[in-house]
Chains A and B, each alone.
Chain A
Amino acid sequence: MEISWLQAILLGLFACLSSMPGMGGSSIGNYTLGRPLIGGLVCGVILGDVTTGVLVGCAMQVVYIALVTPGGTVSADVRAVSYIGIPLAMVALSSYGLSAASSEGAALATSFGTMVGTLGTVLFYGTATINLVWQHMGWKAVEKRDYRKLYLIDMGLPWLSHLACSFIPTVIMCKLGASVVELIKSTLPMDGIAMMTLFTVGSLLPCVGIAILLKQIVKKATDFVPFLFGFVLAASMGINLVSATVVAGMFAIINYKIKMLSVKGVEAAVEEEEEEI
């Protein structure tokens, strides 16, 4: 599978829109187009294989299910994961003759995507640094009371940062990708230790993604119970994700009602006390 210039340019454009801080705005860009699941669909449409794209996107989505960027520090770059990692993983899968639906295929995709995503943080810091130039111009405009110029500073000029840090790297990586994959394939045999490690890492990495999420939810040992409950629903009872969400919603409602009961209880008690006074 080869990626044509036109396809690479389209991928580059999506990389500009989707990154954090991207030109699509954070809701449409980072949180929609940047999510690997959506990136998988977009890459699938551009490269002409929707099924593989979505499957690769799903595999990588688990690793980045809770990509929180507190205070603007990133551990992975979504534009690199979704618009460099996914296309390269698709090229690799077709070159190795693996199906994206198999667990080996998912592991290969995850390893590739995560590697690219981690290296891609360079692009994030690059974009943010170039934006400093526009912001410097912005302060000058504020001083001169030329406020209308702020729109150009905030929404126009950052496109140039993305040309350098999103568009060009994506196009080059996607064009070079196929030959790099070939090189890896010919130097590292599939049953050698390096490739076996790569595949194993691919199956282990999603644990980090889930754990990042748990870090937000689990503060004490009992907070693990909802997580394990959901795990049992799917692993032991074979309930699918959509149905598991409905079950989870039921428990959330019960929890809310109990919590509100204690809130209202307190309020009623306070009112009574006030009346006595």
Chain B
Amino acid sequence: MEKKLSKKALLKSFHNWYYGHLTCFSQEHMQTFGYLCAMLPLVEELYTDEDAKAEAMNTYTAFFNTEPQLGTVVVGMTAGLEEARANGMDDVDEETINGLRAGLMGPIAGIGDSLVVGTVIPILLGIAMGMSGGGSPLGAIFYIITWNLFAYFGMRFLYFKGYNLGAKAVEFLIGAQGEAIRDSVSVLGGIVIGAVSATWVSVKTSFSLLNEAGEVYLDLQSKLDEVFPGLLTAVFIVICWFLMSKKQMSPIKVMLLLVVIAFIGVVIGFFNPGLAY
């Protein structure tokens, strides 16, 4: 009789992944143990023979690490493959399964990092910060609800897509339509991030020139704002982008450089937060 995974086992496997993919993280094995826990309910249901169980579990001791939210699709796909293997399909063995996992880890991490962590989360946070300006908890609550619904149901959708469609599930992600969606989401992200930086980042200079009577005749900050409101903020952001993107500096080095710039700026009177007791 053909073996079929029960919905209960699939859900247990999904939940083990949803919660446990990173709980036992180390630099050496990363998400491998989370993956083992996700596969265990499936393996236990598919095989009764201890040796077959061991053979199946052994497959998933291979290293695994990707962007965990989007990577759920890979776990779903291997659930489908494991079911096929238990039914004695010849062309599914340890090698095909691990070939697939290793092949998808990289691309999915790339798409996931830029789509989920680099775009969806910042957009939600941007809206939430807009709602929380003035210290209202509303924005934070908005983020908690929307992100968690998106993460849970999105991951669940991907898991079952992967299980039902197998390799076709990834086409949806890396195919032409997926490409169009990602491109559009990054336009959305770009605009929102622009608005977030204009609202929440404020780089201001205190530099001014006085005439002989002691009156200000050049207030640099207001002159700059006449050219383009928030010019100095935008310029600093572009400089940081340039250093990290084009000069391959690490964020920590850029931060240290900013400390130096701030110090020099304060000494020459370009920056002055204007504080006193």
Known contacts A27-B18, A213-B122, A245-B127, A196 near B275 by CB under 8 Å: yes
Tell me which residues from 233 to 266 in chain B have a Cβ below 8 Å from any Cβ of chain A.
Answer: 233-234, 236-241, 243-245, 250-252, 254-255, 258-259, 261-263, 265-266
User: Which residues on the B side are within 8 Å of A125 (C-beta)?
Assistant: 27
B218, CB-defined interface residue at 8 Å: no
Known contacts A37-B128, A227-B190, A208 near B240 by CB under 8 Å: yes
0/1 per residue, B46-72, Cβ < 8 Å to A?
000010011001100100010011000
Known contacts A142-B61, A218-B241, A21 near B251 by CB under 8 Å: no
Known contacts A26-B22, A135-B28, A154-B37, A100 near B135 by CB under 8 Å: yes
Q: How far is the CB of A89 from chain B (nearest CB, A)?
A: 14
Kindly name the residue among B113, B132, B141, B252 whose own CB sees the greatest number of chain A CB atoms within 10 A: B132
User: Of the 9-residue stretches B78-86, B145-153, B208-216, which lies at the interface with chain A?
Assistant: B145-153
Known contacts A26-B21, A51-B135, A216-B114, A245 near B126 by CB under 8 Å: yes
Tell me which residues from 38 to 72 in chain A have a Cβ below 8 Å from any Cβ of chain B.
Answer: 38, 40-41, 44, 50-52, 54-55, 57-59, 61-62, 65-72
0/1 per residue, B124-167, Cβ < 8 Å to A?
01111111111111011101100110011001000000000000
**Are B237 and A54 in contact, with the CB atoms below 8 A?**
no
Known contacts A207-B258, A216-B114, A252 near B185 by CB under 8 Å: yes
Contact sample, A vs B, 7 pairs, CB 8 Å cutoff: A26-B22, A27-B148, A31-B121, A72-B27, A151-B16, A214-B245, A232-B198
User: Which residues on the B side are within 8 Å of A103 (C-beta)?
Assistant: 202
**A interface residue numbers (CB < 8 A to B):** 20-23, 25-28, 30-32, 35, 37-38, 40-41, 44, 50-52, 54-55, 57-59, 61-62, 65-72, 75, 100-101, 103-104, 107, 114, 118, 125, 127-129, 131-132, 134-135, 138-139, 142, 145, 147-148, 150-151, 153-155, 157-158, 189-191, 193, 195-197, 199-201, 203-208, 210-218, 223-236, 239-242, 244-245, 247-249, 251-253, 255-256, 259-260, 263, 266
User: Which residues on the B side are within 8 Å of A201 (C-beta)?
Assistant: 258-259, 262
CB-contact partner of B54 in A104, A145, A225, under 8 A:
A145
**Are A197 and B135 in contact, with the CB atoms below 8 A?**
no
**Are A154 and B34 in contact, with the CB atoms below 8 A?**
yes
Tell me which residues from 198 to 228 in chain B have a Cβ below 8 Å from any Cβ of chain A.
Answer: 198-204, 228
User: Which residues on the A side are within 8 Å of B28 (C-beta)?
Assistant: 132, 135
Question: What is the predominant secondary structure among interface residues of chain A facing chain B?
Answer: helix
B183, CB-defined interface residue at 8 Å: yes
B174, CB-defined interface residue at 8 Å: no
User: Which residues on the B side are within 8 Å of A148 (C-beta)?
Assistant: 40
User: Which residues on the B side are within 8 Å of A251 (C-beta)?
Assistant: 187-188, 191
**Are A241 and B24 in contact, with the CB atoms below 8 A?**
no
User: Which residues on the B side are within 8 Å of A235 (C-beta)?
Assistant: 198, 229-230, 233
Rounded to whole angstroms, the CA-CA distance of A104 and B274 in the bound complex is 9
Rounded to whole angstroms, the CA-CA distance of A103 and B53 in the bound complex is 61
Q: How far is the CB of B51 from chain A (nearest CB, A)?
A: 9
**Are A241 and B199 in contact, with the CB atoms below 8 A?**
yes
CB closest chain-B residue, reference A54 = B135
Instruction: Give me the 4 closest cross-chain CB pairs, A-B, nearest first.
Output: A230-B194, A241-B130, A226-B190, A21-B25
User: Which residues on the B side are within 8 Å of A214 (C-beta)?
Assistant: 193, 237, 241, 245
Q: How far is the CB of B188 from chain A (nearest CB, A)?
A: 4
User: Which residues on the B side are within 8 Å of A62 (C-beta)?
Assistant: 129, 196-197, 200-201
CB-contact partner of B187 in A26, A69, A215, A252, under 8 A:
A252
Known contacts A20-B22, A62-B196, A135 near B33 by CB under 8 Å: yes
Q: How far is the CB of A103 from chain B (nearest CB, A)?
A: 6
Known contacts A191-B276, A210-B196, A203 near B203 by CB under 8 Å: yes
Given A28-B148, A57-B140, A72-B25, output 19 extra A-B contacts at Cβ < 8 Å.
Answer: A26-B22, A31-B151, A54-B137, A62-B196, A65-B126, A68-B113, A71-B65, A118-B252, A151-B40, A154-B37, A197-B259, A203-B203, A215-B244, A218-B190, A218-B245, A231-B197, A235-B198, A244-B195, A245-B127
